Structure 1
Amino acid sequence: MLVIGSQSVLGAIPEDRLPPAATASIEVDVAFFDDPDDRKSDQVDGAIGELSAFHEMFGYYAQGVSVSTAVLPAGWRDRLVRVDTASTAPARGHLLDPHDCVVSKLVAGREKDYVFAAALLEHGLVDPVTIAERIETLQVSPALLQRLRNWIGHHGNP
């Protein structure tokens, strides 16, 4: 299993160090490496997704997505944060490296994504030079690449 959205930072950064803008989402994006037809993702939506009994009871929910949902920098799979504890056994989870997560959020380019990325940068939880380096590995249009360079240049001053 892979946590692919903003809440993936919880695997690498203790929650008490995260600014409110980084933990504001009540949605956890969950993908599966072995789910070519998205059946497992659909099951997540049905069982613990938005408007489910789980959502009503706990106030947050999971959204099943595809691993290809996010545009990620080259080598992201090698940098996954592994969650393998007694409470997750026999399963294990994987979460995005915080820098890869920020890059994917900048690619998505929604206002909430920029707020998330800026908050992590402002609190020194991600390195702007690493973000800039990973942006350069993306397979995106030249216009998008320039937008990302401009954003990190303005917000991170790498």
Structure 2
Amino acid sequence: MATDVRTLADVERAVRSLCRHFRTDHVILIGSQAALLEWPDAPIIVRTSGEIDAYPGNIREWEDRNREPASEEINALFGWGSTFHEQFGFYIDGVDDRTAKLPPDWRAEAVTRTILDEAGELTAVAPSARDLIVSKLHRLTDKDKDFIAAFHAERPLDIDDLLARLAECRPDASVLAGARAFLASLT
């Protein structure tokens, strides 16, 4: 029976699958489930999702060679309704390095996890929790708000720091105003 609560084992399965298919040794995770690298036992609401958003670390090289978006390949082989989805109860949403709005230096604080595979060591890379939340502040859908509020309830956020990180992304004034208002509502 499929569940929409993701685990670190799901993340590891996604990383192994993408590394094998794209012949790379690392995968970048974005979206809610990227938080599992830093907080594997996060509250259920933080881990609730039917998908894991990810892309191979060699995305540009792969796309140059194959002349098609890697995200389309991911969605066809591992996406919603795929054999992978049916077999494992979750799917991989193919994204790329332009999908999430992250601070320019997010990689300096990225969280990594080594995953063992028969081919050797693989690496999962994800934005830090605060940078992941910055990306969510750009959209602020109800799901994003629930994620941020649940995160804040368990691990209080530094609001000023988040707003400074968000400003580094140079968002529209409306995005910044919406983020300020929402973050103020958490205190």
- Normalised to the residue count of structure 2, the TM-score between the two structures is 0.74
User: Matches of 2:38 and 2:157 in 1, distance apart?
Assistant: 11
Query: What is the count of residue pairs matched by the alignment?
Result: 154
Give a deviation string over 1:36-75, Cα, whole Å, max 9, x none: 4463322221221110111112110101111110111232
Contact 1:32–1:67 (CA under 8 A) maintained in structure 2 = no
What is the TM-score of this pair, normalised by structure 1?
0.87
Which sits farther off after the overlay, 28-37 or 91-100? Answer: 28-37
Q: Which amino acid aligns with 2:173?
A: P
One-letter code of the match for 2:143?
A: K
Aligned to 1:10: 36
The structure whose residues are more often strand, as a share, is: 2
Corresponding position of 2:134:
103
Aligned partners of 2:116 and 2:122 also within 8 Å: no
Q: State how far apart, in whole Å, the 2-side matches of 1:142 and 1:89 are.
A: 46
Give the structure 2 partner of residue 23 of structure 1.
Answer: 47
Residue ranges of structure 1 left out of the alignment (5+ in a row): none
Whichever of the two has the greater Rg, that structure is 2
| CA distance in 1: counterparts of 2:88 and 2:167, whole angstroms | 39
* Structure 2: segments with no counterpart, 5+ residues: 1-26
Matched, 1:150 2:174: no
Aligned partners of 1:41, 1:115: CA distance in 2, in Å?
Answer: 27
**What is the rounded CA distance, in whole Å, between the counterparts of 1:106 and 1:43 in structure 2?**
28
SS in 2 for 1:22: helix
Alignment-derived partner of residue 67 in structure 1: 97
Identity of aligned residues (%): 27
Q: Write the deviation string for residues 95-131 of structure 1: whole angstroms up to 9, x where unpaired.
A: 1211111111121121111101110001116443432
Structure 2 residue matching 1:30: 3-state secondary structure:
strand
